[in-house]
Structure 1
Amino acid sequence: MKLNTKLTGRVIYKGDPGYEAARKNWDPHTDRFPKVFVFAQKTQDVANAIKWANENNVPIRPRSGRHSLEVNLSQVNGGIVIDVSEMKKIKLNKKTGTAVVETGNTVGRIAHTLARQGYMAPFGDSATVGIGGITLGGGIGPLQRTVGLVSDNLIGLEMVDAKGKIIRATKNSNSDLLWASRGGGGGNFGVCTRYTFKVRRAPATATVFRITWPWSQFEKVLKAWQSWAPSVDTRLGSELSIGPKKGGNVSMLGLFLGSKTEATRLLRPLTSVGTPTSQIIRSLPYTQVVSFMLSPDPVATQRDSNQFSSGFGRKPFPDKAIKAMREFLEQVEGEFAGFFFLNWGGAVSRKSPKSTAFYWRKAKYYVEWNSSWTKKSEAAKNIAIVRSTRRKLQPYIVGSYINVPDQGIKNSGPVYYGTNYPRLRRVKAKYDPGNVFNNPQSIPPARKG
């Protein structure tokens, strides 16, 4: 008779000390009541947890940085959460220009660690997002036009599959799994424990900028940004944020991998629009560039719940789309709510949509919007406004970003993955035919035949 698998690592059951702390996510709206948390210390702990879950018929949720933006993705009532956040090794090999990182690292920790050693790692807009989740969903951010998406730099990984077997994927072995892991979304194929990235030398200095305008000028700033940002020098990454009418403003944050003089010239089409209330354009050592771009974003103290949605724009928003934005911004509240745009092109668009699982490469910009609330009674209203705004904007956007999921999207596979969806379903059928790893919008295995 086979003995049942024992859970290993740091194990916290419901009712144990530390359970409430283990349950807290960046977004309180996503908190659930799992049966047990396994904080893996090594890959074998992950393997044991998957075997245990299979034997006990318990649903599995992998978790890395606790930044899941929708419900039932990184936690589930009565399930097991396999949390890899305590697996934090980072090993840089300057000779090969590669870094091996365990999947519990945050984006900020990796970017800072490598920057101190003179290397550049792509990052998003939050320091505390886990490298596990951001990589598997694509990984967008202000360096993408120069170095590509986070996942474009992924050249190998270690994963524990649905049977608890440890497998590795590179371009020469399990290459279909590597392809799928570069944009196919987390929690679909297995639990990743280690990534190998190619890394580049960082410049000694780079230029950062932050420009703000009054909220009332958002339309003219947005129009100027949408015609300028997609075609500006690809060494320049720009994030445009537009807050709610109540208490919000317009701000553009970004970096340019070049001199302050050149950055100032390139930014002129924006700095000359409206009446900026503040303007920073500063040349900094690269280590400080990372700090400037990644402000602290603590997980445990976040009080606001959010509902997000996202898409990709192929041309500037016409007045009708801007009207829908305005209606949204006049209704939502809270310092974190609003619209967020990121310029596209460069290295992202040079890869073909089929070369990796990340499909939406031909856009001009990325757009996301979110409402936020603190009282549970305000949840339904806030979720509804985000989803109705999606319906209004639908004629002007394509697709959606799997790392900013919206469970209001029906038949979401092709929306997240475009025409890569059938291939992703075949990869799923190979590595997880029994659909052990599933969540409300996960990839179902392709049927045989």
Structure 2
Amino acid sequence: MDRRTVLRAGAGAGLAAGLWAPAGRAAAAGGSEGRDWGGLKRLLGGRLYFPGDPRFAPLNMPANHSYSHRVPAAIACPRSHEEVLATVEWAGRHAIGVVPRGGGHSYAGYSTSDGGLLVHLGGMRDVTVNGTTLTVGAGARELDVYAALKDTGLLLPGGRCPEVGVGGLVLGGGIGPATRAYGLTCDSLTGTTVVTGDAYTARCDENSNSELFWACRGGAGGNFGINTSFTFTLHPVRRATAWYDLSWAWKDAAPALKRLAELIAEPRYRKSLTCQFGLRTAGERRVYAQGLCFGSERSEHPEQTLRTLVTRLRPRRSATGTAGIWECMRRFHETPPGDPYAAGSIVAGKDLGASVVDELVDSLGSWKAASPDSRAAVSFFAMGGADAALRPADTAYVHRDATVIVDLAAHWSDADPAPVPDANRQQLQALYRSLSRHLGTDAYQNFPDPGLRNWQTAYYGGNYARLQTVKRTVDPARLFTYPQGIAPTP
């Protein structure tokens, strides 16, 4: 059934096909010569900003300053679903590309625009808790969810950065400190409302617009439209929770990482012990591991597990404790400094081997800082717990057999001259090539690399063709697009 047939057939046929049952489209408006910016500004109550306006530059600045040179034609700041709908309809009528921005933390600058319409969703940060149901607005940040849930004992498994938008996190999957215990952020999503590229309102869940709902769980942001709200099921955390933060001297990096890799791979810890570990070159080179412990599946108390952990891993420094789930999560919040950087990722489907660890330690040990502010980091996110409960085709997020997700990054200063970012990128690319020879080239769509070859397969595997079909249905004209955006089926 093609798109026109689906639309003609109405809601019943769309539900049966699992494709398309729009709740309504913005009212059609007459064409105009040129772009009626004044009309859009009126629709937004004046909240439309152009280059030169005092509010423009702060709204336009992305978290990755490498893309701060990109300048949209205008920045729209809607505060409601209706204003988003009107904005998208206006953009389609005036043939200008739309880029939504929640937190603005896309590694590859995909929440920036050059000459298009940037839709800044920061005015839609409402958060509502009703029992074990959480509903958030399009622009809600992780810190907004933390504020709403910190005293409840209810968990939404999110990420590490309090300023990251919940929308971007969930649309790309969503990994963080509680992933192995409670799954990805997208695994808790039960519904979302989307304004699509054709300016339709689509209310999506498992039973309504189910293909678009499937795509919104790992198909990445900026592909199908603007999600104006998200609804999640929260997890009561009844098990005791403990946290740990360990570090080693650089001379002990290789043996420490090898012991870590062995420990997180043990079946008894796959759902009870979460772990982010890695190496950093900033200041004193160091190796670290941090995460949460919920007690083992053999009913071992988390403090006992932590004692075992520290004994086996022999860190140079260790800090551990028990607390409520949100206090534990807060301990690992990381706020990006706001600087230029380059990054990439590898999704590994096998456990780290000794040769991989040795090569990694050698590479970072010989990393040459291109400037005083240059630094590199490689982070490993342990997977293979609750995140593996679903099959690769159950959601658009395909990496259900992952054992670890590797995040590689090189940072520098806004003031550094051009040779500095070039030198950092070259070293990062060499490190990526070295690791990918052992771990493969699958990649995490929330850690995008703009230079990645065959990104369609790397991010989405066998799910890409299905995502293309959804794209053709809801945004065939590609009002929403970017260099690694999903293309509609021809």
TM-score scaled to structure 2, two decimals?
A: 0.85
Task: Please give the alpha-carbon distance, in whole angstroms, between the structure 2 residues aligned to 1:342 and 1:26.
Answer: 21
Alignment of 1:354-369 (within 5 A): 354-369=393-408
Contact 2:244 2:306 in 1 (8 A): no
- Name 1:6's counterpart in structure 2: 40
For residues 89-126 of structure 1, what are the alpha-carbon distances to aligned partners after superposition, in whole Å with 9 as ceiling and x for unaligned? 111121xx211111211123213312323311112121
Q: Is residue 352 of structure 2 the alignment partner of residue 316 of structure 1?
A: yes
Deviation at 1:376, TM superposition (A): 4.3
Report the residue type matching 2:174 in the other structure.
G
Deviation at 1:205, TM superposition (A): 5.0
Deviation at 1:34, TM superposition (A): 1.2
Task: Please give the alpha-carbon distance, in whole angstroms, between the structure 2 residues aligned to 1:286 and 1:215.
Answer: 31
Report the residue type matching 2:483 in the other structure.
P
Report the residue type matching 1:438 in the other structure.
T
Change (3 A) 1:52 1:376: farther
Q: Is residue 146 of structure 2 the alignment partner of residue 103 of structure 1?
A: no
Contact 2:248 2:286 in 1 (8 A): yes
Q: Is residue 71 of structure 2 the alignment partner of residue 44 of structure 1?
A: no
Report the residue type matching 1:153 in the other structure.
S
Change (3 A) 1:345 1:369: same
Gaps of 5+ in 2: 1-29
- Name 1:242's counterpart in structure 2: 279
For residues 297-334 of structure 1, what are the alpha-carbon distances to aligned partners after superposition, in whole Å with 9 as ceiling and x for unaligned? 16xxx343111111122121341563145314531545
Whose radius of gyration is greater, 1 or 2? Answer: 2
TM-score scaled to structure 1, two decimals?
A: 0.92
Contact 1:119 1:200 in 2 (8 A): yes
For residues 21-57 of structure 1, what are the alpha-carbon distances to aligned partners after superposition, in whole Å with 9 as ceiling and x for unaligned? 1122222112221111112211122122222222333
Q: Is residue 116 of structure 2 the alignment partner of residue 79 of structure 1?
A: yes
Change (3 A) 1:332 1:400: farther
- Name 1:122's counterpart in structure 2: 157
Q: In the alignment, which of 329, 333, 340 is matched to residue 294 of structure 1?
A: 333
Q: Is residue 353 of structure 2 the alignment partner of residue 353 of structure 1?
A: no
Q: In the alignment, which of 192, 207, 218 is matched to residue 242 of structure 2?
A: 207
How many pairs align?
A: 440
Report the residue type matching 2:288 in the other structure.
S
Change (3 A) 1:285 1:269: closer
Q: Is residue 425 of structure 2 the alignment partner of residue 397 of structure 1?
A: no
- Partner-residue secondary structure (3-state), 1:442: coil
Q: In the alignment, which of 258, 279, 291 is matched to residue 318 of structure 2?
A: 279
Contact 2:191 2:203 in 1 (8 A): yes
- Partner-residue secondary structure (3-state), 2:274: strand
Task: Please give the alpha-carbon distance, in whole angstroms, between the structure 1 residues aligned to 2:465 and 2:52.
Answer: 42
Change (3 A) 1:204 1:41: farther
Change (3 A) 1:376 1:109: farther
Task: Please give the alpha-carbon distance, in whole angstroms, between the structure 2 residues aligned to 1:192 and 1:376.
Answer: 38
Instruction: State, as a whole percentage, how many aligned pairs show the same letter.
Output: 27
For residues 381-401 of structure 1, what are the alpha-carbon distances to aligned partners after superposition, in whole Å with 9 as ceiling and x for unaligned? 222222222222223224100
Task: Please give the alpha-carbon distance, in whole angstroms, between the structure 2 residues aligned to 1:421 and 1:347.
Answer: 23
Task: Please give the alpha-carbon distance, in whole angstroms, between the structure 2 residues aligned to 1:304 and 1:24.
Answer: 11
Q: In the alignment, which of 416, 421, 438 is matched to residue 481 of structure 2?
A: 438
- Partner-residue secondary structure (3-state), 1:433: coil
Task: Please give the alpha-carbon distance, in whole angstroms, between the structure 1 residues aligned to 2:300 and 2:360.
Answer: 37
Task: Please give the alpha-carbon distance, in whole angstroms, between the structure 1 residues aligned to 2:398 and 2:234.
Answer: 23
Deviation at 1:335, TM superposition (A): 7.9
Q: Is residue 126 of structure 2 the alignment partner of residue 89 of structure 1?
A: yes
Deviation at 1:204, TM superposition (A): 7.8
Gaps of 5+ in 1: none
Change (3 A) 1:340 1:332: farther
- Name 2:425's counterpart in structure 1: 383
Q: In the alignment, which of 313, 327, 352 is matched to residue 363 of structure 2?
A: 327
Deviation at 1:413, TM superposition (A): 0.4
- Partner-residue secondary structure (3-state), 1:34: coil
- Partner-residue secondary structure (3-state), 1:116: coil
Contact 2:293 2:306 in 1 (8 A): no
Q: Which moved more, 1:398-407 or 1:242-251?
A: 242-251
Q: Which moved more, 1:331-340 or 1:182-191?
A: 331-340
- Name 2:454's counterpart in structure 1: 411
